[in-house]
Amino acid sequence: MPAHTGEKARKTGVFHCAVCGEKVPVREGDTIPKCPNGHTEFDSRTQEPDNRS
Count Cβ atoms below 10 Å from residue 36 Cβ, excluding itself.
11
Q: What's the domain count of the chain?
A: 1
The answer to the question of residue 28 being in a domain is: yes
pLDDT confidence band for 50 (50 / 70 / 90): low
**Residue 52 belongs to some domain of the structure:** no
Burial of 15 (0-12, 13-18, 19+ CB in 10 A): buried
Please indicate, yes or no, if residue 29 is contained in any of the structural domains: yes
Pairing of strands 23-26, 3-4: unpaired
Q: Residue 44, SS3?
A: strand
pLDDT digits (tens, 9 = 90+) for 9-48: 999 999 999 999 999 999 999 999 999 999 999 999 998 7
Residue 51 inside a domain? The answer is no
User: Tell me, what's the pLDDT at 24?
Assistant: 97
53 has pLDDT over 70: no
Q: Kindly give, in sequence order, each residue whose CB lies less than 8 Å from that of residue 22, ignoring residues fewer than 6 positions away.
A: 16, 35, 36, 37, 39
- The answer to whether residue 13 is domain-embedded is yes
Q: What is the extent of the structural domain holding 39? A: 3-46
pTM for this predicted structure: 0.84
pLDDT of residue 51: 55
